[in-house]
């Protein structure tokens, strides 16, 4: 399914220059796959490479879109009237194998492990991996909190 029409910012509160996801490749209630092309002006570039903090931020943004998606109706492609805020509440484990070069495109895959919802927020645990050219760059498990701003 081509999701090029899907605006990732409707599931994420992030905006440039802090937005680390370009495209949603696939998404459902338990999994998401995104891509991100690392441009030369990216704030997480370090001596020609996308650094470790950028990889973790890309993972967190990708992961939070699974939960963020649930705040919108399936046919709501604009996300009118809903604003979300999210943050990493814990990094349970993270392994960085390599940092990609500027100009690379990374693919990030995340799978929901658990989720707890209240009337005020959602807390979730998500496993995530980032690859580039079929080479694993990062694997992690994150806890995230997502909340609708009213």
Q: Name the domain count of the chain.
A: 1
State the pLDDT confidence band at 2, using cuts at 50, 70 and 90: very low
Question: Average pLDDT for residues 101-121, to the nearest whole number?
Answer: 95
In a domain, 1, yes or no: no
Q: Rounded to whole angstroms, how far apart are CA atoms 107 and 38?
A: 11
Question: Average pLDDT for residues 106-131, to the nearest whole number?
Answer: 95
In this structure, what DSSP letter does residue 118 have?
A: -
In a domain, 138, yes or no: yes
Dihedral of alpha carbons 39, 42, 44, 45, sign: positive
pLDDT > 80? residue 55: yes
State the pLDDT confidence band at 1, using cuts at 50, 70 and 90: very low
What pLDDT, on a 0 to 100 scale, did the predictor assign at position 61? 92
What pLDDT, on a 0 to 100 scale, did the predictor assign at position 83? 73
Query: Which string of b and e fits 44-73 if b means at least 16 CB within 10 Å?
Result: bbeeebbbeebbbbbbbbbbbbbbbbebbe
Q: What is the CATH number of the domain that holds 90?
A: 3.10.129.10
Q: Rounded to whole angstroms, how far apart are CA atoms 9 and 17?
A: 13
Which residues constitute the domain of residue 134? 8-149
pTM over 0.85: yes
């Amino acid at each position: 399914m081509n999701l090029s029409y899907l605006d990732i910012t409707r599931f994420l509160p992030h905006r440039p220059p802090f937005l680390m996801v370009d495209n949603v490749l696939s998404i459902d209630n338990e999994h998401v796959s995104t891509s991100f092309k690392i441009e030369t002006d990216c704030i997480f570039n370090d001596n020609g490479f996308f650094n470790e903090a950028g990889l973790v931020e890309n993972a967190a943004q990708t992961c939070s879109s699974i939960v963020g998606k649930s705040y919108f109706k399936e046919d709501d492609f604009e996300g009118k009237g809903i604003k979300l805020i999210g943050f990493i509440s814990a990094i349970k484990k993270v392994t960085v194998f390599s940092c990609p070069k500027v100009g690379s495109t990374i693919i990030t895959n995340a799978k929901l492990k658990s989720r707890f919802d209240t009337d005020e927020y959602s807390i979730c645990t998500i496993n995530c991996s980032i690859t580039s050219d079929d080479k694993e760059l990062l694997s992690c498990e994150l806890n995230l909190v997502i909340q609708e701003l009213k």
